[in-house]
Amino acid sequence: CGIVGIYAHDQVAPDLYDSMIQLQHRGQDAAGIITCNERFHVKKGMGLVQDIFEQRHMERLRGSIGIGHTRYPTSGTHSNDEVQPLWTSVPNGIAFAHNGNVVNYQEMRREVQENRKRYLNSHSDSEMLLQLFADELHRRIGAGPASSLADRAFFEALFSSMAELFYRIAGAVSAVMLIKDRGLVAMRDPHGLRPLVYGQRELPDGRVDHIFASEDTMFYMLGYRRVRDVLPGEIIYIASDRQVFTRRLAPKAFTPCIFEYVYFARPDAMLNNVNVYRSRLRMGENLGKAWKETFPEVSPDVIIPAPATANTVALSMARELGVNYSEGLYKNPFIGRTFIMPNQEKRRQSVRYKLSPQELELRNKDVLIVDDSIVRGTTSKEIVQMVREFGARRVYFASACPPVTQPCYYGVDIPTSEELIASVSTEAEIQEYLGADLLLYQPLEYLVEAVTRKGDHHIDTPCTACLGGDYIHKLDQEEMKRCVS
């Protein structure tokens, strides 16, 4: 999902809308905005941002503070009333937008409903998180109008509520919260699994606007400068006089998701102080090295990316191998990502629908196709077939990501193990299934090296659980089923 929160000095809805257009790639299933002046204003809907918000909605979304969410469908959340941001009126009006997934949801759901007597309307982990946080805050500040508390005291209550939250829940949480009459809050789980970036915009009169977003892809456009990432385990509170309060929980291993760099994030984003585009160039370089080590005798005539995420990887792999790069598959930009569609039959039909091969780039050539990842394998298989139909002599396939063997329990919609081709087949079987003459997967340590080589970052080791690495949390069977259903 994509989240954004802005505390400005003028109407905030237009900037939230523009931000969500820049976060659309992180979720195309549903979207919503909540703003606040004397009260909350809410507009949510299913589908793309541009189809949900009309002029009349924007005029209604009054206030200089607000949050927005673009939804990517993962566990539990497919229905209309679970569209974020969510809000609750106790203790004094909290709106909440979340990217990630809670892995001990069932246990915490019982805790929230049975022990804390807070009724949950849905099976969304985000609603549970909101109610748990609201309950903790309520215990600290009481039910009355919280505006009488000094900002410092309110921040103490926020911080200890967050500490309690992360003491109890396990999983990935990057969240923004709008607290009525009090300000804007951003927080990130102690392992920093999902990204969250902080920016500021100085107005001509010296006042400062604040933004938090999953990616900094809208900062330049809206006149914000990137300040830094929200740190793992950190809470940042922008009070109503725009004073900034911040504190961190005791550090744990910083393990941000590696898949953000492989596929999910936009290339112009800088996450955890690592530039996504540059990391993809390094992935291509490393993939080129792996190719030379594995197939020293084989040099393709041309390297063609499966568009469009893999273009960057293919470009630098071609440079590394001294082979021509060609965009031999044209991708229609008006068709959504196939992965997002609900069933496999549709996906299968849609590869040809959205990719168009260019015969002159393919005929009588030894073609190396490069993709960012092989998930189910159906896309790759069709691409190989298409390239053959257009006269390629040999078709090789390389994936910038190692075999995807396990589901993600931290908010990325990777299918169940049975559907993951690398989980049920050997590499030789995958090569045969794809119909490729050679198949190369990037070795895991080469991928990790590509992501962590440069940048002034503090990543301990990225999460690689879906690539055969360890899950950071212990998972129980019930949760594992829920997360991938």
Catalytic positions are 1
Q: Which does 441 bind (CB under 5 to 8 A by kind): ligand SF4, ligand 5GP, none?
A: none
Give the x/- contact pattern for ligand SF4 in 410-439, rule: CB under 6 A: x-x---------------------------
Write down the least CB distance from residue 26 to ligand 5GP, Å. Answer: 10
Amino acid at 341: M
Among 102, 257, 314, 450, binds ligand SF4 (CB under 6 A): 257
Is 51 marked as binding a ligand?
no
**Looking only at Cα atoms, what is the longest distance across the chain?**
76
C-alpha Rg value of the chain to the nearest Å: 23
Stretch that binds ligand SF4, among 111-119, 294-302, 355-363, 459-467 (CB under 6 A): 459-467
Q: Does 311 bind ligand 5GP (CB under 6 A)?
A: no
CB of 151 to ligand SF4, least distance (A): 34
Give the nearer residue to ligand SF4 in terms of CB position, either 176 or 414.
414
Q: Please work out, in degrees rounded to the nearest 5, the angle formed at the alpha carbon of residue 238 by the alpha carbons of 235 and 242.
A: 155
Is 309 annotated in a binding site? The answer is: yes
If the CB atoms of residues 154 and 263 are measured against ligand 5GP, the closer one turns out to be 263
Taking CB under 6 A as the binding criterion, the range among 253-261, 339-347, 356-364, 376-384 that sits at the site for ligand SF4 is 253-261
Which one-letter amino acid corresponds to residue 330? Y
Q: Tell me: is residue 125 an annotated ligand-binding position.
A: no
* Residue 471 identity (one-letter amino acid): Y
Residues 195/215, Cβ–Cβ less than 8 Å: yes
Binds ligand SF4 (CB under 6 A): choice among 103, 258, 274, 367: 258
Residues 379-408 interacting with ligand SF4 (rule: CB under 6 A)? 408
Half-sphere exposure of 16 (CA within 13 A, CB side): 36
What phi-psi label fits residue 255: left (phi over 0), alpha (psi between -120 and 50 degrees) or beta? beta
**Residue 260 contacts ligand 5GP per CB under 6 A:** no
Element (DSSP H or E) covering residue 141: helix 125-141
Question: Which among ligand SF4, ligand 5GP, none contacts residue 408 (Cβ within 5 to 8 A by kind)?
Answer: ligand SF4
Residue nearest to ligand 5GP (CB): 339
Among the listed residues 78, 77, 94, the one whose alpha carbon sits nearest the alpha carbon of residue 86: 94
Taking each helix axis as running N to C, give the angle between helix 378-389 and helix 344-354, from 0 to 180 degrees, rounded to the nearest 10: 40
On whether 88 is known to bind a ligand per the annotation, the reply is no
> Does 374 engage in binding with ligand 5GP (CB under 6 A)?
yes
Segment contacting ligand SF4 by CB under 6 A, of 139-147, 255-263, 304-312, 371-379:
255-263
Phi-psi region of 142 (alpha: psi -120 to 50; beta: other; left: phi over 0): left
Does position 388 interact with ligand 5GP (CB under 6 A)? The reply is: no
Stretch that binds ligand 5GP, among 229-237, 291-299, 360-368, 375-383 (CB under 6 A): 375-383
By the rule CB under 6 A, 394 interacts with ligand 5GP: no
- H and E: helices and strands count for the chain: 17, 22
Count of residues touching ligand SF4 (by CB under 6 A): 11
Question: Is residue 450 a contact residue for ligand SF4 (CB under 6 A)?
Answer: no
- The count of residues in the chain is 485
Select the binding partner of residue 464 from ligand SF4, ligand 5GP, none (C-beta < 5 to 8 A, by kind): ligand SF4
Among 379, 431, 452, 464, contact with ligand 5GP (rule: CB under 6 A):
379
Q: How far apart, in Å, do the first and last CA atoms of the chain sit?
A: 17
- The number of residues that bind ligand 5GP (CB under 6 A) is 16
Distance CA 269, CA 261 (A): 9
What is the distance of C-alpha 11 from the center of its chain? Answer: 27
Handedness of CA 370, 327, 281, 451 (dihedral sign): negative
List of long-range contacts for 456-461, beta carbons under 8 Å, 24+ apart? 456/273, 457/272, 457/273, 457/274, 458/254, 458/272, 458/273, 459/254, 459/255, 459/256, 459/272, 459/274, 460/253, 460/254, 460/255, 461/253, 461/255
36 is in an annotated binding site: no
371 is in an annotated binding site: yes
Give the nearer residue to ligand SF4 in terms of CB position, either 67 or 408: 408
Task: By CB under 6 A, name the binding residues for ligand 5GP.
Answer: 263, 306, 309, 337, 339, 371-380, 413
Task: By CB under 6 A, name the binding residues for ligand SF4.
Answer: 193, 257-259, 408, 410, 412, 463-466
List, as residue ranges, the binding site for [4Fe-4S] cluster: 257, 408, 463, 466
